[in-house]
């Protein structure tokens, strides 16, 4: 049975005030895609425990019954120190602004991605999730160098009031590492696949990115 590791952020603060975290649909839609495909899913985070959900995207009362399993998984993530990468077939990073603060620099996250990549296992990320892919060293280069990717764009940052509080521009940082960043209009469903690397541009792209990730898993 296919086993997928989903890694989410533990960071829920903006300037010391709760206001960010995982963007829920960027977790719940891939979670649903993977579940319907029969995959076993393990949800982890750098510190383990509850993962904060951005309050702007928290499911409504009418939606909670349908997404209860996804919410329960976010409330009980496993710490990355307990994860054996050899037991999984691929790794996937949902977005939200939180990854810009912790997954972007977390050494265990970088080590896990490098391990999956060198073992020829797919790596996927959507929206701000590709922050986890920054500065992942593969031999003498970074994972992103020379690869076609996407993520939350300059155009989408310009429409986002939280951008002023972000530590960097995701698009700029990915391009600084030598990535060929492919940008579509804001809110466009857009996914890029470069070998084993699957990235999605924004929340609207979450399900499509998960489907692309599954396709790469099945073809590897």
Range of the domain at 11: 3-219
Sort strands 3-7 and 40-45 into parallel, antiparallel or unpaired. Answer: parallel
CA 90 – CA 6 distance, rounded (Å): 9
Tally of domains in the chain: 1
- What tens digit of pLDDT does each residue of 33-84 get? 999 999 999 999 999 999 999 999 999 988 988 999 999 999 999 999 999 9
| pTM of this prediction exceeds 0.85 | yes
CA 47 – CA 83 distance, rounded (Å): 12
**DSSP code of residue 158:** T
Angle of the 24-36 helix axis to the 206-219 helix axis, nearest 10: 40
Beta-strand runs (E) in 2-126? 3-7, 13-14, 17-18, 40-45, 78-79, 90-93, 123-126
Domain at 206, CATH number: 3.40.50.880
- Cα–Cα–Cα angle for 5, 151, 88, nearest 5°? 15
Query: How high is the mean pLDDT in each 10-residue block of the chain (220 residues)?
Result: 97 93 98 98 98 95 91 97 96 98 98 97 98 96 97 96 95 98 97 98 98 95
Q: What is the per-residue pLDDT for 20?
A: 95
């Amino acid at each position: 049975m296919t086993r997928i590791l989903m890694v989410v952020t533990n960071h829920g603060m903006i300037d010391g005030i709760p206001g960010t975290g995982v963007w829920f649909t960027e977790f719940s839609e891939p979670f649903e895609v993977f579940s319907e495909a029969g995959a076993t899913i393990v949800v982890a985070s750098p510190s383990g425990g509850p993962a904060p959900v951005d309050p702007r995207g928290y499911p409504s009362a009418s939606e909670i019954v349908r997404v209860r399993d996804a919410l329960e998984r976010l409330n009980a993530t496993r710490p990355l120190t307990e994860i054996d990468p050899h037991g999984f077939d691929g790794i996937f990073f949902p977005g939200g602004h939180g990854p810009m603060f912790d997954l972007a620099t977390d050494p265990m996250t970088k080590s896990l991605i490098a391990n999956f990549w060198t073992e020829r296992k797919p790596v996927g990320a959507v929206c701000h999730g590709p922050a986890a892919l920054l500065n992942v060293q593969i031999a003498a280069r970074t994972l992103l160098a020379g690869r076609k990717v996407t993520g939350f764009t300059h155009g989408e940052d310009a429409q986002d009031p939280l951008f002023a509080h972000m530590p960097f521009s995701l698009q700029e940082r990915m391009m600084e590492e030598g990535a060929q960043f492919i940008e579509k209009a804001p809110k466009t469903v857009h996914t890029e696949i470069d070998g084993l690397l699957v990235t999605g541009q924004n929340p609207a792209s979450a399900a499509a990115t998960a489907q692309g990730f599954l396709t790469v898993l099945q073809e590897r």
